[in-house]
Amino acid sequence: MDPQRFRFIVSSAEEAVTVLRDRIGGNARVISVRQVEGTGLARFLQAPKLEVIAELVEPEVAEPIGEAAEKIEPNRDAAPQASEPAPAHPAAAVEVGASPSHTGLARLLRAGGLSAQMLARLQSHSSWAALGEMLPQRALTHVGRLLRQDFQAIPRRPLGDRVAFIGSPGAGKTTALCKWLASEVFVRQRRGVVLKLDLERANPGDALAVFCEALGVPCARSIPDVPTLAPDQSLYIDVPGIVPGRDADIAPLNEALGPLFTTSRVIVINAAYDPELIKRAFEFAERAGGTHVVFTHLDELTHCGKLWEFLLDRKLTPLFLGTGPNIAGDLEENVFDAVLAGTFPEVGVQAAKSQIAP
């Protein structure tokens, strides 16, 4: 029997996950996600809508989902994807035989969104044994210091002066480029040039050119049109949206960026995505030569704990966080403090900056 498929429009990835799990059922799996763009500059001034197509593995157990989704005919040409795993239970990473105090701290960290892998990483620190004996707020302050130590120990890659922004449709790739460009022009007083590059698929849209014109920044549509860069200028390259699992896009990407001698490839990821989707984006980034990462849609997260295992990944250097739709703002370059505050608001950032006593 052919599987049933449904199409629905949502405002965020978190809303999509809610619809999939609560209204369609646990056997749903995503077939495709496509950004539904606005018109003109409106696409930059409000969060984009997402069109999601999901498939039921066992249609006989599906429940009605009301007006939020429209049943569509199966697309036999679509490539199947693995279903998303259920989120781990908050106590899943607690060691067998752990003391009640350690169990309580582990559950508190899991409630803050930290993954089982991050919890295991924290448990490997020599100071972990003493944390379970502390009051919760003090223990969290020490956890913040441990995270800071790990974060500061990771070498930071320089960005260079030829930077490509790469991301999936709906991740906010072009908006992220605009945010960084505005910060370069207004805050650091640096000049830039933008290249809106086409690959095998067109990269349409005039809003980026309008924004560049407002900033007084040249915007080229082809490589021959790129002016010679001055010593204080940087080239920022906007490429078409690339689905992380589509390795066939890597060769055309390398072929297009090779002649431009790019110094960095910034992978733009929607932070509201499920952690498994973020992992796929990181795996794709490694194959595509990614050097830096930008997380967008931080304003849609209830907590930021799930980002820690990615921020502490040594393969991609965090560049900034997108905290809203404003193309000339809503940018946070102090990545560590912002994620710490979004994970444990009760932990003072200043307190977490001090060194841990031996």
Q: Are 213 and 224 in contact (CB under 8 A)?
A: no
Q: How far apart are CA 313 and CA 351, in angstroms?
A: 24
Domain for residue 77, yes or no? Answer: no
- Each residue's pLDDT, cut to its tens digit, for the chain (358 residues) gives 456 777 777 776 667 777 776 666 656 677 777 766 654 444 444 455 777 787 776 544 444 444 444 444 444 444 444 444 444 333 333 333 344 445 688 888 888 888 888 999 998 888 888 888 888 888 888 999 999 999 999 999 999 999 999 998 888 999 999 999 999 988 888 889 999 988 766 666 678 888 889 889 999 988 888 988 888 889 999 988 888 777 777 888 888 888 899 999 999 999 999 899 999 999 999 999 999 999 999 998 877 899 999 999 888 999 999 998 888 788 999 999 999 988 887 665 555 555 544 4
CATH number, domain of 215, equals: 3.40.50.300
- What whole-number distance in Å separates Cα of residue 220 and Cα of residue 271? 30
Let me know: does 95 contact 102? Beta carbons within 8 Å. Answer: yes
Within a domain: 349 = no
192 lies in some domain: yes
Q: How many domains does the chain have?
A: 3
* Residues 322 and 233 placed together within one structural domain of the fold: yes
pLDDT tens column, 80-110: 444 444 443 333 333 333 444 456 888 888 8
Residues of 126-151 as b/e, b for ≥16 C-beta within 10 angstroms? eebeebbeeeeeebbbbbbbbbbebb
Short-list 99, 177, 98, 108, CA closest to 142: 108
Residue 95 is assigned to a structural domain of this protein = no
Write out the residue range of the structural domain in which residue 243 sits: 162-343
Which among 335, 305, 310, 307 has a CA at the least distance from the CA of 320?
A: 335
pLDDT in tens, 28-74: 677 777 766 654 444 444 455 777 787 776 544 444 444 444 444 44
- Do 56 and 181 lie in one domain? The reply is no
Are 238 and 338 in the same domain?
yes
pLDDT at 157: 93
- % of residues, the chain, pLDDT over 90: 29
Q: Positive or negative, the Cα torsion across 26, 28, 29, 34?
A: negative
Q: State whether 190 and 337 are in the same domain.
A: yes
Judgement on whether residues 211 and 282 belong to the same structural domain of the protein = yes
Does any domain span residue 110?
Answer: yes
| Ramachandran assignment for 350, one of left (phi > 0), alpha (psi -120 to 50 degrees), beta (any other) | alpha
